[in-house]
Structure formats: C-alpha cells, structure tokens
C-alpha cells in the first residue's frame, strides 16, 4: 500500500465559522494504481490532494505514505518526503517564470540527493526529451503553449523518480487535444509502475484512469 489515509479530517476556521473541507475520509491506494477523483466544486478534492502531497496537514487522522506515518512530521521532514517520494502537477502549471524549461526541471534536483551540475543537466535534459520537449529546453514558460508548459511541469514532477504523482486538474487549462496528450503521457508512466492520483472535472479525462472515485461534501461516495 503506497498511500493509506484513515479518518482524515480537515477543518478550516474562517472568522467565527468552521468549514469542514474533509470529513472522515479514508483511502488506500496500491502501488501502480491510477486513481481519478471527481466531484462537485468545493467538495474537498484539492484539499485532499494537498494533504496527500504533504503540502498541507490534516486536522486529524492518520496518513501513511510508503508505510511511514507522515502526519506528525516537521516541515523539513515533510520537505524531504516531497523531495524523495512525491511529484506535484498543478492546474496552473506553477513553473518559475523567467527561468528556462531546463532550469525548471532541474529545480527538484537542487533540493534532492546531492548531485553535480553535469548530472543535473543530463537528467533534466533526458526528462524533457521524455515529454517530447527536447527542442524547447531554453524556452521560458511564457514562450511555451499551455500543453507544453504542463509537459515541463510533468518532467519536473518525474525528474526525482517519485513513488506517487499527484495532479490537481492537470488538464483544467488545456484544450481537448493537449488534454489527451497529457493523459497518454500519464498512462505511459503509470504503465511503468508510477502511482498517479488525479483530480478532474472531465469524465473523458477520468476515463484514462484505472478507477474513479466521487467526492461530495468532504467525503467519498
């Protein structure tokens, strides 16, 4: 079991009101699975994914990643977990602007296991080739199309060889052709054994996954 969450709750305090974004959620994901999470806006999908990605902490509950409890970890321990085991893909790509595609992909290598400059360069180049952007390595994000930017983001997520890819509406800003390209890429890496958990609003995008889960009001249904 690569991911195992039990009775996760997430409560936001906004002024006087408590907003329960996740209400006793449990989920297990096997290694090599490809899960799509769907559900209405505000049902807690992003909240769940951020917790799975160790970017946010649950209010209560347990989260075991690769059989290690991560819910009580310090910020630096969480950073190490993100560095070694997780790759994140965002709807708005979240690339560093004014930084070339190559350097964006090199970024996780700077914070990962210590490697030399040449090795970082080689790895990042190989990864950009993997997403078919070998001809765009020195382009800045602003000089790339949406689909190309998302492929750079995927290369960045893959470069540290993570165990799990977490993608929050990866095709939300893309047209249908770019969307299916990205999804084919997801299927390819999934076929090589990578676990993927993806949030989407589109049924045909969810169709690329092995299984689909539905959320409503902070719970799976």
Partner 1 sequence: MNIGPTIKVAFRALRRNRVRSALTSLGIIIGTAAVIAVLSVGQGAAVMIQSQIGSMGSNLLLIFPGSMNNGGVRSGSGGQQSLTVADGETIARECPNIVALSPLIRTGNQVVYGNNNWSTSIQGVTPAFSRVRNWNASSGDYFTEADVRTGARVCLVGATIVTQLFLDENPVGQSIRIRNIPFRVIGVLEPKGTAAWGQDQDDTIVMPWTTVRRVLQHSPFSNVNNLMVSVASADDIATATRTISAILRQSHRLQEGSDDDFTITDMAEIAKTITSVSSLMTLLLSVIASISLLVGGIGIMNIMLVSVTERTREIGIRMAVGARQHDIMLQFLVEALALSLLGGLIGAGLGALAANVVSRVNHWPVLVSVQSIGLALFFSSVIGVFFGFYPAWRAARLNPIDCLRHE
Ligand X SMILES: Nc1ncnc2c1ncn2[C@@H]1O[C@H](COP(=O)(O)OP(=O)(O)OP(=O)(O)O)[C@@H](O)[C@H]1O
Q: What is the DSSP letter of 136?
A: G
Give the nearest distance from C-beta 200 to Mg ion in angstroms: 10
215 contacts 45 by C-beta, under 8 angstroms: yes
Q: Which stretch, 26-34, 78-86, 176-184, 186-194, contacts partner 1 (CB under 8 A)? A: 78-86
* 43 touches ligand X (CB under 6 A): yes
* 75 touches partner 1 (CB under 8 A): yes
Give the nearest distance from C-beta 44 to ligand X in angstroms: 4
183 vs 154: CA distance, rounded Å:
11
196 contacts 206 by C-beta, under 8 angstroms: no
* 100 touches Mg ion (CB under 5 A): no
* 47 touches Mg ion (CB under 5 A): no
Q: Segment 45-104, which members bind ligand X (CB under 6 A)? A: 45-47
204 contacts 210 by C-beta, under 8 angstroms: no
14 vs 140: CA distance, rounded Å:
38
* 68 touches partner 1 (CB under 8 A): no
* 56 touches partner 1 (CB under 8 A): yes
């Amino acid at each position: 079991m690569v991911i195992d969450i039990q009775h996760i709750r997430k409560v936001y305090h906004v002024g006087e009101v408590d907003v329960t974004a996740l209400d006793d959620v449990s989920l297990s994901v096997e290694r090599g699975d490809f899960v799509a999470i769907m559900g209405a806006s505000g049902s807690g999908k992003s909240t769940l994914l951020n917790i799975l990605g160790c970017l946010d902490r649950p209010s209560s509950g347990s989260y075991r990643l690769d059989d290690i409890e991560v819910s009580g970890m310090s910020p630096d321990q969480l950073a190490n977990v993100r560095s070694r085991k997780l790759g994140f893909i965002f709807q708005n790509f979240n690339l560093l602007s004014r930084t070339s595609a190559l350097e964006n992909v090199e970024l996780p290598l700077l914070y990962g296991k210590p490697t030399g400059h040449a090795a970082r360069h080689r790895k990042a180049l190989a990864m950009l080739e993997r997403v078919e952007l070998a001809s765009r390595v020195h382009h800045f994000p602003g000089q790339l199309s949406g689909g190309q930017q998302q492929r750079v983001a995927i290369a960045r997520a893959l470069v540290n060889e993570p165990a799990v890819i977490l993608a929050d509406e990866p095709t939300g800003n893309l047209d249908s052709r770019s969307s299916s390209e990205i999804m084919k890429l997801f299927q390819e890496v999934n076929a090589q054994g990578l676990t993927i958990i993806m949030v989407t609003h589109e049924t045909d995008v969810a169709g690329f996954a092995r299984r689909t889960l539905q959320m409503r009001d902070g719970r799976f249904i």
